[in-house]
Every structure is written in C-alpha cells, then in structure tokens.
Structure 1
C-alpha cells in the first residue's frame, strides 16, 4: 500500500521511522510515564547555536522529509518486539498506540537561518514530543548542512549549471537526501536515479572512464556512445591524452557534439586549451563540463574560465567540510513556564519563540529578531514573520509552497538576493545579518 507524502516521496506501510531514534528518548518516556510527568505540556525548539566555521548563513532543508517521516512514525509489532527489555510493559503499551498529536511550526524550506533562529518548534506532551528529537535532528542536521554548502557553490558558479554527483561518497540513503538538498539549493540535476524517482529531480549522466577503457581504443568508445545516445551526449576526454581525446570526440560526433567532460588535471588551464581546440575544430557550440574534487572555492577560482557547467561530488554530499549543521533540540517551556539550560558552553534561551526578519525598503535584509512567541514586534512595511504552521493536532497542514521543492528553490533564490553582498563572500566573517534576541516584556 503506497501513498504520497510531503516532499514528493512514496511511502509504504512496511517502512516505519519509529526506531530511527536514540534509546534514551524511550527510557525518558518510560520514566515520565512512571512518575506522572509524561503529559506535561512542553515546547521543544530546534535551532543552531552557531553556524559552522566560516559560514555566513544557513539554508533550511528537510522540512518536507520530516513531515513525511512523522506520518510514518509508528511502532509496529517488530519494533515493539525489538524494544522488549529496553522499556517496561507499560511503555510498550503506550508506544503501541503512539501517534503524534501535537503541533509543529517552522521556517519554510529554502528559507535562510542564523544563530538562534527557531527553525522548528514542536509543542505537545513531553512524551509526545521528546521521542521526535533524534528523527528531527538527523534530518535537519544533514539536509541543512548539504543545502547550505550547495548554496555557496551555486553562488560561486554565477549562473552556470551544477550537477550533483556525490552518491558514491556517502551512505546510499544519505545520497538521496543530499541530492534533494542540493537541488533545493539550486543545483540543476543529479546523477542519483532514486532522487529523480522520489522527488522529480532532473537526472544527468552519460559514461565513466570505465566505458572508454572497455573498448580497444578511444575512437571506438566515443563512436559507440554517440551511436547509442546521439551527438548531444557528453564525452569524457581525459582517460588518456586530453588533446587527442577532444579530437577523437569531435571526429566521432561532429561539430554538433553536445559537451566534453574533463575530470582531472589543472582544470582552468585545461578548460582554456579545450575551448581553443574545440573552436578551431568548428565545435563552437560544444560545452565544457568540469568535475573532479570541486568545492565552492575551486568553482569560484574557475569563474573567469570558459566553463559551461560543473559536476560536484564529494564536497556537496559531505557538506563541504561541515557535514552537520550543528542543530540542537531543546526543551524551552513546561506548562507555560520558560525553562533553559544554564551551562556556559551550551546555554539555551527559555520560552517559546518566534522570529521576524527586517528588511530595508530596497529589499536587503538587515536583522533577524527572535522574540517571545506571544510578544511579536511591530512589523515594518517590508518585514515578515518567518515560522509557518506545519502540523496541527498531529495532522500535516503545511501549505505546498512551504515544503515543495520548486517553491523552496524560488524562496532561496529570493532570500539570497536579499543578503547583504558581504554576506555572500566565501571568506570567513560574521553571520550575514545579526540576530537580536528580545526578552519578555521588552519594547517591541
């Protein structure tokens, strides 16, 4: 039995998500059921205390995946059998009937976030909400990290298309989620077919070096690929000698060859030489695709070169040095009373919060204001409130424009245009806009 879910995936009744969690979530539930605190009304917030080192902004990604996972967060017979002995019989009975019945608010996918931004707010009983901690963090920490890195690459590419091709550099399911996050951030295609099937992302890819090595010589490999895929294909020309490879490619496909790909060497110099050679051969419309250990810095360094598109693998699939967004999921309110962690190294701010982003009349963002949920500041003519309703009484109510991939891509493009120009630099620095934290009763 299948059905669609937020984020564009197919779900199956056999594929639950309840055991994608840490043991202590359930032992806390067991203890809370025993001492009578399980039903206390609580608010948890998911946020990042700081951005990864060297980053100026973060990108919200994973909301659609979380909502899809939440709908499948059920403890089936096999799950309960696995938990026998981990928790007591009373807790097993509670888990057997578990359905999240609380509320969730959050930043829409494709929105920017900064230190302290209440990216996700979960309200419900303690037991209802605490079991979602690991699931929410695993999705947001991964997807936000990938999307944030990918957005920097899109900026560095300055309008040139980017192909996500990192599937072989990470866990097979992480690869699918990474492709989704990279596409959200502005990549144009992915090599991952599962991501294409689940999320409707355009896929791309032709042949690897193994294809050339399979054949007795490069000309026969190219001729065979062109015969199978047409002259618009992309031929990989760096298996042997690149100059000979380019000559063989044009000979096989003619001057209408779609593209060549270079995967190694001094990519900037090789791109210039390739462009000159292609033009001299009459293949003036043949595109040049570069790949091979590219990240945002390498892409930026190639901006002046005659490159038409980039293929990015390892760096995008691993967050380009920041594989986690550093998100935390903290209890901030119990029965309407603010609570907070006081540790100097891991301090949190108590009380449920919301956030407003302020803008100049020109559209440039100037400040993020995090405020008590029930004390919203006055909005200027260009300001906007960031969190939106996602779940009410356990049912997904998120509007498609807040979780859909195409809407998220548009939202991120708009958000990045609003970032002050210095906030888009790849160099280290403060967050692109400051965050101001309002305390209860402060002037609005």
Structure 2
C-alpha cells in the first residue's frame, strides 16, 4: 500500500483547480508549526520525523489508488493522469527528531511547487500530531519517574498501527522498553513482558501459577502479586524463588502505601534485591505522587499512548511564501483573528547562554537572519556587551532532510530511533528542568522573531 491515499480529498481538488488556473507550478514554501502548547506544558517533543520521510518517499499513486480516485468522480482524467506520474521532487528541512519545540517552531519547511508540496499536508500532520502527542506526554512521564525505568504498554488502548508508532515515540523520549512485539521487531526497541491476572486465575492456586511461571521464565521474572492477597502472594513468590526473585508487580490499590509494605516484607524475607514495580492508569501526575515510594519502575499505557489528555499538539501545515506573477517570492499568511500566520520561510535557532537554552529564535527571511548575526557579532566584540552575551551561541535547529526529492540521510529505522533518542536527551538537558519543579508550569523559553526581542531576552 502506498501512502498517497492517506490524505484528504481537498488536497487533490485544490491541485486540480490550481492546474486549471495555471498557478499549480508556482514555487511555494510550506511550514509545519503549532501556535501554542497545551495548558501547563513547558515544551513539546517532536517525534515521527523518520516516519514522515518514509511516507513522503512512498507517496505515489498506484493503479489501485487511481481506480479508487476515479470512482469518486471528483477529479478529471487529466488530473488522474498527472497523479499517476506524481513524485515529490522538492526539499524538506526540519528539526531533528527528538528535538523540543515551542509555539511557532517551524519543525518542518517544505519547498516545491504548489502541486508538488500541497499533497503532503494530511499525511505529514497525521504522523507528527500523533507521534509528537505521545512523545510530549511521555517525556514528562520520564522526568517525573526520576530515573526509574518506564515500560510502554498501551497497545491495547489504540489502533494496532498507532500502537507501534506510540511505542516508537515513547522510546524516543526515554522509555526503556515496550510490550509491543511489532515495535520491538521493526525498531529494535527492548521488549518486556511476563504475565497477567488471567495466568494466575488459570490455575487452581496462586502457588501453582507462580511455580509454572518460575519454571518457564526463571527466578529473574516479575510476578504479579495483587490477584488475591498481596502479602500472601509475596511470601509465596519468595518461598518458591528465593532471594533471587527478580521483581513483583502491583497493579491496583494504593500503590504508594502498598509498595512500602511490600518493600518492608521483601527485605524481611531476605529478598533485598527484588524490585517492586507498579502499573495501573499511571501518568506524570501519579508518578509525581509516587516519587517518595519505594518503587523501582513503572509500566504505563493508556495515558501515554493517548497523549496524556492532549493527543495532538495542534501542528498545522501553512503556506508562508509563494512565487508571484512577477516571478519573485513573496511572504503570505492568514490574517484572520487568533490564527494569523507570520509569512516568509523561516530559519530557527536555539539561543543559548553557556549550555542553557534561553529562547527559540525564529527569523523570517534571510535578511533578518543576516542582520541579527551582525548585531550579535557587534555586541560580542564591543567590550561593553552584557556579560551574558559573551557566552551566547546559536544552535541551528533545522537541517536538510530531503533534497530534490531524495532523503539526505537514509538511516535504517532502528538507527533513526536511537539518534532521535540521543537528540531528545541532549535538548531536554539544555532546559535545565528538574523533576522537583513538577509536571506543569509556564512555557520553558520564549519564541522570538527578531533581534531586538532576542536582545531583550538576554538583557
């Protein structure tokens, strides 16, 4: 199956109308960005970029696609013939996967003719909104976990294909493993899993169930201990496995109080190295409440894979610059209330003082970029500059992803994911956020669009 029908009809009807009007071949610049972050979110985490590149590479209309489009009756034969030859031949620049984003961050810039670039809108937004929604929630959960490993286990709560993408996005932002075998196979994500309550209920006694699990998986396994009575289950598991028992899992009740009782019991039985893990409708707020509990890891599902209450970051795909009838490029943008768009293709930088991020600098047009760089150099060499300016640097956020229709760095999926994971860790460290700050707060850094504002942030 190609990715060409993962789109909305109006992308094709716009193309047809533009072709008939003679404007379809005008050069255009589209940008993907979000106007705001969900309330309380300090930052967003970009995920899905690697999947977007694959979708663009596969975006072509095969015979089955064309037959389906013909049945709609919405397009002319001339348009269908054009689509049969469609390939994206433009350029894509964007933030590295795993990078943080803020309001106005141009995470992707797509350049090409109108007829070449407009068709990509729906599939690009579908992937980035889903994956970044999971990643943005997951990053907060990893921070709240305070170094305790987190397992993604939400595959039962979403569409089967979305479950694979969610596992990938969670791993990008620091989850240690997944329960999803398809994600593990395709992206080489570590996979974990032992048993559910159904396994215990299958046997006549809990002891028989534990014996069977230990015989099959070894003493290092994780035993689920809240099917019946927790204390009895822990005693039985340690009696059968000895102090080498890997872990026990709690899935219900007051996890904080239960974990303290279980930890004390395990220690009294000599199982001091046996870990205590928790599952059961967890999110960053519950993890914050459990920060002082003697827990060694978490399994997180529903709230993670559904975006933690904000399933889509609100990415949009907007035309910001296009060729005019004079052959020159012109900035364009919506002027409607609350949805105005800053025209012109933009360049983005993370403005840093030392190793700490201070602003998202988004400059429209090459002239503004050059002007700001001149101002920065002048300040740094003036001798009277604010001391902070002496430690200032600009980290470019966009890099070429596709040039002339060809993926620039065509890494295999597992390598892409590992690179994204490293990028996220490094970008998050720049913010200097601490788990003790709590999950919610103001946006971590400002987005500024000219050099004067950048100077104000530094000054």
Q: Give the TM-score range, shorter chain.
A: over 0.9
1:240 and 2:233 equivalent? no
Residue 329 of structure 1 corresponds to which residue in structure 2? 317
Q: Is the 8 A contact 1:275 1:288 kept in 2?
A: yes
Residue 348 of structure 2 corresponds to which residue in structure 1? 355
Residue 115 of structure 1 corresponds to which residue in structure 2? 103
SS in 1 for 2:393: coil
Cα distance change of structure 1 residues 424 and 355 upon mapping to structure 2, 3 Å threshold = farther
Residue 371 of structure 1 corresponds to which residue in structure 2? 363
Q: Is the 8 A contact 2:143 2:435 kept in 1?
A: no
Q: Is the 8 A contact 1:141 1:324 kept in 2?
A: yes
1:183 to 171, 190, 211: 171
Q: Is the 8 A contact 1:255 1:282 kept in 2?
A: yes
SS in 2 for 1:132: helix
Cα distance change of structure 1 residues 422 and 443 upon mapping to structure 2, 3 Å threshold = closer
Where do 5+ consecutive residues of structure 1 fail to align? 1-14
Deviations 1:81-131 (A, max 9, x none): 000112110110011010000000000011111000000000001011100
Cα separation, 2, equivalents of 1:304 and 1:346: 43
2:83 to 95, 99, 103: 95
Cα separation, 2, equivalents of 1:161 and 1:245: 24
Pick which of 406-415 and 162-171 moved more: 406-415
Cα separation, 2, equivalents of 1:399 and 1:414: 22
Residue 10 of structure 1 corresponds to which residue in structure 2? none
Cα separation, 1, equivalents of 2:267 and 2:432: 39
Query: Any residues of structure 2 matched to 1:20-419 within 5 Å, and which?
Result: 20-84=6-70, 85-335=73-323, 336-361=329-354, 363-375=355-367, 376=369, 377-378=372-373, 382-398=393-409, 400=411, 404-419=416-431
Cα distance change of structure 1 residues 58 and 401 upon mapping to structure 2, 3 Å threshold = farther
Cα separation, 1, equivalents of 2:412 and 2:37: 26
Q: Is the 8 A contact 2:48 2:97 kept in 1?
A: yes
Number of equivalenced pairs: 428
Residue 16 of structure 1 corresponds to which residue in structure 2? 2
State which structure, 1 or 2, has the greater radius of gyration over its C-alpha atoms. Answer: 2
Give the deviation of 1:405 after TM superposition: 1.3
Where do 5+ consecutive residues of structure 2 fail to align? 324-328, 377-390
Deviations 1:52-82 (A, max 9, x none): 1210100111110000111111101110000
Give the root-mean-square deviation of aligned CA atoms.
2.0
Give the deviation of 1:421 after TM superposition: 3.1
Deviations 1:399-421 (A, max 9, x none): 75998211211111111111143
TM-score with structure 1 setting the length:
0.93
Give the deviation of 1:425 after TM superposition: 3.7
2:450 to 427, 438, 441: 438
Q: Is the 8 A contact 2:140 2:439 kept in 1?
A: no
Cα separation, 1, equivalents of 2:245 and 2:365: 58
Cα separation, 2, equivalents of 1:34 and 1:264: 62
Cα separation, 2, equivalents of 1:401 and 1:72: 15
SS in 1 for 2:79: helix
Higher relative helix content = 2
Cα distance change of structure 1 residues 113 and 18 upon mapping to structure 2, 3 Å threshold = same
Residue 4 of structure 1 corresponds to which residue in structure 2? none
Cα separation, 2, equivalents of 1:439 and 1:341: 24
Give the deviation of 1:429 after TM superposition: 3.3
Deviations 1:225-261 (A, max 9, x none): 0000100000000001111111111122111000000
Residue 12 of structure 1 corresponds to which residue in structure 2? none
TM-score with structure 2 setting the length:
0.90
Deviations 1:356-402 (A, max 9, x none): 111112x1110111002413232675321110000001000037599
Give the deviation of 1:302 after TM superposition: 0.9
Cα separation, 1, equivalents of 2:302 and 2:270: 34
4+ residue runs over 4 A deviation: 399-403
Give the deviation of 1:351 after TM superposition: 0.5
Cα distance change of structure 1 residues 423 and 370 upon mapping to structure 2, 3 Å threshold = farther
SS in 2 for 1:289: strand
Residue 9 of structure 1 corresponds to which residue in structure 2? none
